Amino acid sequence: MRRHRNVKIVATLGPASSDYETIKALHEAGADVFRLNMSHGSHDETRARHRIIREIERELDSPIGILADLQGPKLRVGKFANDEEELIEGESFRLDLDKTKGDATRVRLPHPEIFAALTPGASLLVNDGKILLRVEKCGEDYADCTVLTGGTISNRKGVNVPDVLLPLAALSKKDRDDLEFACDLGVDWIALSFVQRPEDVLEAKALVDGRAAVLSKIEKPSAVKCFDEILEVSDGVMVARGDLGVELPVQNVPPIQKKLVRQCRAAAKPVIVATQMLESMIESPMPTRAEVSDVANAIYEGADAVMLSAESAAGDYPIEAVTTMNNVAVEVECDSNYRGIIEASRRAERTTIADGIVAAAREIAETTDIKVICCFTQSGTTALLTARERPRVPIIAMTSLRGTARRLALSWGTNCIMTGELQRFKQAVVNSARAARVQGFAGTDDQILVIAGVPFNQPGTTNILRVAPCDESLIFASDPE
């Protein structure tokens, strides 16, 4: 299904979007990738949604990406005798391992790993940062704190520890079970929560064992500090602004977002900007102007994808939310300023033959009357390198591997089309011309540009670039066997 935009849309499925008709309508409205949130719903519910997506994919003959988002370890306080208490600024409050229900002076924090890592002066954030505690004194089973910002604390509220590298694995027992389930199901991307260090990603990749691509969610200050190392071992990145905005001053998040997006683009790895993009559309059919500007800014920055969470999973207007995001993307990419911003942020990456091929393809396409760049790819690398260039003409990614096509549904500007295995370059040119015509990218009188690797069907062999006519008779008349 051809999109008239380059940025991709990720839509989360949930109670508001679980039936065949709604999921199909979301895809037709603009959703390129569906997110299955493993924090909510049973395996049976996830399996049913996965099956529906694949049925729609077959019906529409349109590769659809599926991303399984692991929950990660959740740090929460215990329960209170009165269900909730009011913490007063300046007063003391204790966190400990005592299983007794909490009161206005203390509550259980059932995570001994946190106490082991805390030091006096460390900050603790409760309930999405609404309550701020400073550790005054701590031991292996307690932390005595001063309330710096008071508020209502209630049962099972989340705790963030921004100042400390926690000795916690990114994968809990539940995450390991969910990861194995999702990989067996056949998802295309695994999103890893609570990433603090590159070793977290390497552990997940070892468990995935090539069955899916691994995407690192950047939501911890420690991950921002060692982002270069995390990016190197990740297949993609999500700028998860929810926890990031809790654990860091909110004014720090926009420049961090911009920096991470640019680094991902330079590395030719897909990057999603996520969290609260159209939050008001959970309950309203219209977004706020600020939300529209937020989505637009992510697109101007060159993000590969923008994501909807509760808006499409549990909101009252899931289809309208996707439609709005699609419309904003189309409008932004039609803005004359968009190309200038995208091209000003392009970083020259010329270290391999493939880098040179895709850079040359973009320059040729933009200085001549080329209608589309067609790239043949097995692993997806050639298409990702082409997308990194952010060319002014559309990209068709041709592959014989459905898994590659589905993963590329997350990559900027890639229109994925299945093709059979090829043995000769002329076949590649003919297939490209047919795809360009059938999909409406070019007419018989137009020219296209073909990128491929010879010998075929071997990853990492991108070494040939050809300008070709869309008229097959001219291809057969002029091209050698």
Residues with active-site annotation: 35, 76, 217, 275
* E strand segments, 112-251: 123-126, 131-139, 142-149, 151-154, 159-160, 189-192, 213-218, 236-240
- CA dist., res. 223 & res. 207, Å (int): 21
Task: Report the alpha-carbon distance of residue 129 to residue 156 in Å, rounded.
Answer: 14
Question: Does residue 162 contact residue 248 with C-beta atoms inside 8 Å?
Answer: yes
pLDDT digits (tens, 9 = 90+) for 47-67: 999 999 999 999 999 999 999
Say if CB 194 and CB 218 are below 8 A apart. no
pLDDT digits (tens, 9 = 90+) for 332-390: 999 999 999 999 988 876 789 999 999 999 999 999 999 999 999 999 999 999 999 99
pLDDT 10s digit of each residue in the chain, 481 long? 789 999 999 999 999 999 999 999 999 999 999 999 999 989 999 999 999 999 999 999 999 999 999 999 989 999 999 999 999 999 999 999 999 999 999 999 999 999 999 999 999 999 989 999 999 999 999 999 999 999 999 999 999 999 888 988 899 999 999 999 999 999 999 999 999 999 999 999 999 999 999 999 999 999 999 999 999 999 999 999 988 999 999 999 999 999 999 999 999 999 999 999 999 999 999 999 999 999 999 999 999 999 999 999 999 999 999 999 999 999 999 999 999 999 998 887 678 999 999 999 999 999 999 999 999 999 999 999 999 999 999 999 999 999 999 999 999 999 999 998 887 888 889 999 999 999 999 999 999 999 988 777 777 778 899 999 999 888 877 655 5
Q: Which two tokens stand for residue 150?
A: 């008071």
Task: Give backbone dihedrals phi and psi of 128, rounded to 5 degrees, phi first.
Answer: 55, 35
pTM for the complete prediction?
0.94
Alpha helices in 111-188 (DSSP H): 112-117, 173-185
Q: What's residue 163's pLDDT?
A: 85
Count CA atoms closer than 13 A to 153's CA, side-chain side.
33
pLDDT in the model for residue 459? 73
Q: How many CA atoms lie within 13 A of 138 on its CB side?
A: 24
* Residue 464 contacts residue 421 (beta carbons within 8 Å): no
Q: What is the DSSP letter of 158?
A: B
Please choose, from the candidates 37, 26, 33, the residue with its C-alpha nearest in 3D space to the C-alpha of residue 323. 26
Give the closest residue to 286 by CA, choosing from 314, 327, 245.
327
- Amino acid 422: pLDDT: 80
Residue 295's Cβ-count burial label (10 Å; 0-12, 13-18, 19+) is buried
Alpha helices in 301-352 (DSSP H): 310-313, 318-334, 336-344
One-letter amino acid at 220 equals K
Cα angle, residue 403 at apex, residues 399 and 405 outer, rounded to 5°: 45
d(CA 195, CA 201): 7
- β-pairing verdict for 65-69 and 142-149: unpaired
CA distances from 156 to 74, 79, 103, 140, 219 (A): 10, 6, 13, 21, 20
